[in-house]
Amino acid sequence: MSVTAWTLSHNDRDLLINGAFEAKTGSYSPYSKFPVGAALLASDGTLIKGANIENASYGGTICAERTAIVKAVSEGKRGFVGLAVVTDVPAAISPCGLCRQVIREFCALDMPVLLVPGDYPKPDDGSEKKPGVTEGGVKETTLGELLPDSFGPEHLELPRK
């Protein structure tokens, strides 16, 4: 795994983590009973929160990460500096593939992504020694690490024969 070029301040890190927990309280997940919260920090300093919103059709369900992205973009935000995601599981849970692609549309590949365990902050039990695992048991990664060799908007600008 590559070394993450860390760009979030401690303040922004706390803002994102707390925001993800707050966002999770808005989850509508009567079917999976798997609440998820996501917080997205825009480059103008705005924090946008999203939760997973399920649907009786199941297919109409939208994840927390996409809720946050869609809320932000529809309000005119285009630049983002970080994303945090939390569930009730006491481990770092990653965004699904569909969300990774949607995040890819609007966020830089080196944008930090914080995968927050539901029991954050975990006590220091030595797990911070694991790659990418940092203070409180948060796994710090990037969009590029979550979605390597990805397809994005710039590919549609390439010359074609």
75 is catalytic: no
What are the helix (H) ranges across 25-122? 64-74, 97-106
Instruction: Return the number of the residue (67 or 122) whose C-beta is nearest Zn ion.
Output: 67
In the complex, minimum distance from the CB of residue 126 to Zn ion, in angstroms, rounded to a whole number: 31
CA pair distance 105, 137, nearest whole angstrom: 28
Of residues 42-101, those binding Zn ion (CB under 5 A): 63, 96, 99
The total of other beta-carbon atoms located within 10 Å of residue 49's CB is: 22
What does R_g of the chain's alpha carbons equal in angstroms?
16
Residue with tokens 């569909």: 98
Is residue 53 part of an annotated ligand binding site? Answer: yes
Q: Contacts with Zn ion: how many residues (CB under 5 A)?
A: 3
Consult the annotation and say whether 54 binds a ligand: yes
Q: Which residues bind Zn ion (CB under 5 A)?
A: 63, 96, 99
Binding residues for substrate: 52-58
Q: Any idea which residues carry the catalytic annotation?
A: 65
